[in-house]
Amino acid sequence: MIKEGSFRPKRVSHLIQMEISRYLISELPEMVGFLTVTKVEMPADLKTATISVSVLEKNRRETVLKLLKKKAPYFRKLLASRLNLRYNPELIFVLDTSIDQVERIDQLLDLVKKNESDDKE
């Protein structure tokens, strides 16, 4: 039998992801479409939330990450007013670079396809 507590971090992380996404749309409207909350991870004690964000513009990634880290206390306060949790989790923003890995894999697959078509000729 699965304990009920094992689903709580997943539910809370999903709620936090939704709320942070809403706040980012309202607080940083110029970044809509370029900034995405890809994942929120939380430990079982629910005291920290590691928020992974993806920024499409490579040259703005560090700037956006610094801004999010600076606004973390503000977002934490907003979450406290919206979510009814015993502990208000500390928010840790990190950069999600998985899109770069996907692009690299696509490039490699295109290279393999090109080499295969050159070999057939």
List the domains of the chain with CATH numbers.
4-120 (3.30.300.20)
Q: What is the pTM of this model?
A: 0.76
Q: How many CB atoms lie within 10 A of CB 1?
A: 3
For residue range 55-97, list pLDDT tens digits in order.
888 888 888 889 899 999 999 998 998 888 888 999 999 998 8
Assign 2 a pLDDT band (cuts: 50, 70, 90).
Answer: very low
Q: For the residues of the chain, what is the DSSP string, one character each?
A: ---GGGTHHHHHHHHHHHHHHHHHHHH-GGGBTTEEEEEEE--TT--EEEEEEEES-GGGHHHHHHHHHHHHHHHHHHHHHHS--SS-PEEEEEE--HHHHHHHHHHHHHHHHHHHHHHH-
For residue range 5-23, list pLDDT tens digits in order.
578 889 999 999 999 998 8
Higher pLDDT, 95 or 116: 95
